[in-house]
Amino acid sequence: MTVHTAARGHAPDDVVTATALVKTYRQGAAEVRALDEVSVGIRRARFTAVVGPSGSGKSTLMHCVAGLDTVTSGSIVLDGTEITGLSDRQLTRVRRKRIGFVFQSFNLLPQLTAYENIVLPVTMSGGRPDRDLVDHLCDVLGIAHRLSHRPAELSGGQQQRVAVARALVARPAVVFADEPTGNLDSRAGAEVLTMLRRSVDELGQTVVMVTHDPAAARYADRVLTLADGRVVEDEHITPSGRTAALAGDARGRRR
């Protein structure tokens, strides 16, 4: 991922290019500037973490870029499509075809099996699941032996891995993960983060994750820090730096 100024514009392998995003909310007589001229590019097949204090604009940025909310001004090009100005219906289509979501609360349907939950984005849009892809995803995510179980029969970590598989199954341009480890203990959280990491390294998936947790952000290639609606830091993590940081975390967990 790269942080661009509006003048530098679009980089060819960016899957998302956001330029000069402003989002204001009215709170009584006051106006809150949740995003204040944010310009950012998200590189394909990379894992980007968005961190920052509470109220810094992380969720607002993710919701706007993912077409769940509209901006006050600015431009968002997602996988070649300018999404600002689209109707709700058009936005729904963009989200369904090009975006996968992973939420803190898993959001699985309780009456469906893990397999049925995973293939839901494909079956809902009238498609047929690619069984080889589903098998591969379930192998990578370590849930192949749990596919006939319902969510209530799975651990939290397994449920979140099912949700990750569901986010990946339609081969979206971007997976947005909003605090994906927020409801998990540290071991299950580490497993889910490892799976998101593998989806980037082994499947070439683009992942953007909002998190409060600095340890979770260490799984990313890049950490974007927001404060007061602005990007205040943009850190690249090299594979060797990541390996060292994650090894340190694992030692800390075993202690």
- Which chain residues interact with ligand ATP by CB under 6 A? 25, 27, 32, 34, 52, 54-60, 212
**Could you say which DSSP state residue 255 is in?**
-
Q: Residue 121 or 189: which CB sits closer to ligand ATP?
A: 189
Q: Residue 156 or 182: which CB sits closer to ligand ATP?
A: 182
- Phi/psi for 57 (5° steps) reads 110, 10
Q: Residue 55 or 156: which CB sits closer to ligand ATP?
A: 55
**CB of 50: closest distance to ligand ATP in angstroms?**
8
**Separation CA 109–CA 162 (nearest Å):** 11
**CB of 55: closest distance to ligand ATP in angstroms?**
4
Q: Residue 48 or 117: which CB sits closer to ligand ATP?
A: 48
Asked if 199 contacts 6 with a C-beta cutoff of 8 angstroms, the reply is: no
Length of the chain: 255
Q: Residue 58 or 161: which CB sits closer to ligand ATP?
A: 58
Structure tokens at 51: 């961190």
**CB of 184: closest distance to ligand ATP in angstroms?**
17
Alpha-carbon 250 to chain mean position: 23
Structure tokens at 227: 């404060």
**CB of 241: closest distance to ligand ATP in angstroms?**
25
**CB of 70: closest distance to ligand ATP in angstroms?**
12
Asked if 48 contacts 209 with a C-beta cutoff of 8 angstroms, the reply is: yes
Alpha-carbon 47 to chain mean position: 8
**Separation CA 203–CA 136 (nearest Å):** 10
